[in-house]
């Protein structure tokens, strides 16, 4: 039984490389310096999110429903995946108000504020 392939070093966090490939049928081994693909950098939670996101064809409402999470959480998970793949997350011009909305909705989700308080705060943005 094979173990799950690691993409990141558990000691320093750097990207790992494969140095030996082996055929399970004939036992042939090939040595070299092989790169892992970008998706090998994702942890199991990120891979699960990507699977649900792709299966949902990028429909965030569907991702919310299937994973039982809010819109801001979906956005955060998507941003985490984008960064883990080595890309920067670009802020849009209205991200300051989006960040405020996200903060309010996260507070609502955690039960720190009521829905009425959230509505009042969102209307002020």
What is the model's pLDDT at position 37?
Answer: 87
Q: Binning pLDDT at 50, 70 and 90, where does residue 94 land?
A: low
Handedness of CA 12, 90, 120, 63 (dihedral sign): negative
DSSP conformation class of 77: H
User: Taking the model in full, what pTM does it have?
Assistant: 0.58
In the chain, where are the structural domains located?
A: 1-38, 41-123
pLDDT tens by residue, 13-71: 888 888 998 999 999 999 998 888 888 889 889 999 999 999 999 999 999 999 999 88
pLDDT at 16: 85
First to last CA, the chain: 55
CA-closest candidate to residue 17, choices 30, 2, 36, 32: 36
For residue 93, what pLDDT is reported?
54
Q: What are 95-125's pLDDT values in tens digits?
A: 667 778 888 988 899 999 999 999 998 888 8
């Amino acid at each position: 039984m094979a173990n799950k392939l690691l993409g990141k070093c558990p000691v320093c966090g750097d990207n790992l490389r494969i140095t030996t490939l082996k055929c399970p049928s004939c036992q042939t081994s090939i040595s070299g310096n092989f790169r892992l693909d970008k998706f090998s950098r994702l942890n199991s939670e990120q891979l699960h999110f990507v699977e649900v996101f792709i299966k949902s064809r990028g429909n965030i409402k569907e991702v919310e429903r299937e994973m039982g999470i809010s819109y801001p959480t979906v956005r955060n998970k998507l941003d985490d995946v984008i960064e883990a793949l080595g890309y920067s997350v670009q802020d849009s011009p209205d991200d300051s108000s989006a960040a405020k909305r996200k903060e309010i909705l996260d507070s609502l989700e955690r039960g720190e504020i009521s829905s009425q308080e959230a509505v009042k705060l969102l209307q002020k943005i």
